[in-house]
Every structure is written in structure tokens, then in C-alpha cells.
Structure 1
Amino acid sequence: MKYSLTIAAALTALAAPAFADGDVATGEKEFRKCKSCHMIESADEAIVKGGKTGPNLYGVIGRTAGSVEGFNYGDDLVAAGEAGLVWDVENLATYIEDPKAFLQETLDDGAAKSKMTFKLKKNTEDVAAYLATFSE
């Protein structure tokens, strides 16, 4: 019985949201660089008021890439979503670091490009962990 509880606890820990590698507080500070283009708004409140050049990032973790209705995404990001790309902490952190390179690798297409030209060179895991706190 003792071992089954230990195994159950271990499995529960493995199933927990994967933002343990990032520092949420640092991510919140770093997100200031992102809010010129992105907002975080639930149906009920504006959590972070920001620009509308980029899509709303509320619930981005667990969302299919390029799928916010009414937002005009680039063709390659939409193609990645149609191919099965769903944002998680790890792949979002990689995307934030270099969106174009991420799409080129994901789609195996050296000509793929992203409308997001900004590259965050450090603390990408922290920003992704911060955004994970707004997942549904």
C-alpha cells in the first residue's frame, strides 16, 4: 500500500503543469517587453493591457498554434498548428527565442517565416512559465 501511494504521488507530480523550470516572477517582469504587442485578457478581465499587434496570450499554453479566432496569423504558424503544433511551456519558450528558426525547424522548411520578428534572448522559460499561469 505504501509503495502504491508513492507511485501515485510520483505520477501526479509528472502530470503537473510543466512550468517548474521557469521562474514565474521573472517571467512577469520579462513580459513587459512583450506587452507592446500582446495582451493577456480573459473573458472577464484585462490581466495585462497590451498591444493588439500580436494575439491575446490568455490560455496560450495548451492552445493549437495559430488558432485564435479573428486574429490574422502568418501562413506558416497556421500551417504548424494544422500539422499538430500545440503550445506547451517548452516549445513556446523555444519559439519566443527565435520565431523564424522555430517555424523552419518545426515545418522542416527553410523558407518558413514568422510575423513575430522580436527575439527574446534570455528568460524565455520564465516568460512561458508566467503565461502558463493563465492557462485554462
Structure 2
Amino acid sequence: MRISFSMLFGLAVVAGLSVPTAAFADGDAAKGAKIFKKCAACHTATEAKNKIGPHLDNVIDRPVASIEDFKYSKAMIAHAEETPTWTVEALTEFLHKPTKVVKGTKMSFAGLKKDKDIEDILAYLKDPSAAE
């Protein structure tokens, strides 16, 4: 039986364990930049400029719902009370199924199904210049 990262992540969350960020060391920022095109209509990752959604420049380890000039949904503000920081683990869970993690979010994106796609996006978000 093959165990996927999401299965391990889910087991770790249920057990109350944290998942080390080293689990994402295999992410490819260049591939992440291509996958991020799905997000680019609403977000930017290379500058602190909001679009329909808040910018994702330096999003990793940034407080949730913290961009001052962006109007977040009530659901996202409530989520910030439960999950105060966009850690790699929090972003991983959110990117898998945004509407399940933040019920009532304005974000209509269905999520990414492949763990590798999320690893690649996270590598890109960690360092967008690595994709150039």
C-alpha cells in the first residue's frame, strides 16, 4: 500500500503532531510558478499588491487575514482566530480544500488534489525568484 503525503499529514493532524517543513524540500519552484497561474487571476506572489484576493507575497508564516488594506470575509477572520498563522501545514490543508477549511470563504477555488502540486506551489511561495 502506498501512503501519500496527505494521508501522513492527516494522521499527524489527528494525532496532534506537527509536520516538519522539511517535508516540502522536494518542491520545485519553477513548476509551482506554472501551477500558480491558476491563482494569478486573483492573487500575486511577487509583489505586495492585492487583486481580487490578497497578495501572497511572503505569505508563509504571515498572520492569517492580516493585510491591512484587504477586506477579508467574516469566515476568514474567524479562521484567523483558530489558525493565526499561514504555516506550511496550514497552507497545505487550505490548498487541498479551501471551502472545507474555511467554510464561507469568498474564495471559489476548489483546491489542489495532488500533494506534489502543493509542494511545488509552496516552494514557489517560499521563493518566487527561484522560479525565474
State TM-score, norm by structure 2.
0.68
Tell whether 2:106 aligns with 1:115: yes
Task: Name 1:97's counterpart in structure 2.
Answer: 96
Of residues 61-70 and 86-95 in structure 1, the stretch that sits farther from structure 2 once superposed is 86-95
Contact 1:93 1:127 in 2 (8 A): no
Percent identical pairs in the alignment equals 42
Cross-structure match for 1:34: 39
Amino acid at match of 1:125: E
Gaps of 5+ in 1: 1-14, 44-49, 104-111
- For 1:32 and 1:126, the matched residues in 2 are separated by 12
Distance 2:23 2:52 in 1: 28
1:24 aligns with 2:25: no
The AA in structure 1 aligned to 2:25 is: A
Residues in 2 aligned to 1:51 and 1:33: alpha-carbon distance in whole angstroms: 16
Instruction: Tell me the CA shift for residue 133 of structure 1.
Output: 1.6
Root mean square deviation of aligned Cα: 2.5
- Separation in 2 of the partners of 1:64 and 1:86? 4
Secondary structure of 2:37's aligned partner: helix
| Separation (CA, whole Å) in 2 of partners of 1:28 and 1:78 | 28
Alpha-carbon distance, 1:16 to partner: 7.6
Question: Equivalent residue for 2:13?
Answer: none
Asked whether the equivalents of residues 50 and 70 of structure 2 are also in contact (C-alpha less than 8 Å), the reply is: no
Instruction: Give the number of aligned pairs.
Output: 106
Residues in 2 aligned to 1:53 and 1:16: alpha-carbon distance in whole angstroms: 29
Please say which structure displays the higher CA radius of gyration: 1
1:130 matches 2:124 = yes
Q: Quick one: distance in 2 between partners of 1:24 and 1:90?
A: 18
The TM-score, its normalising length taken from structure 1, stands at 0.66
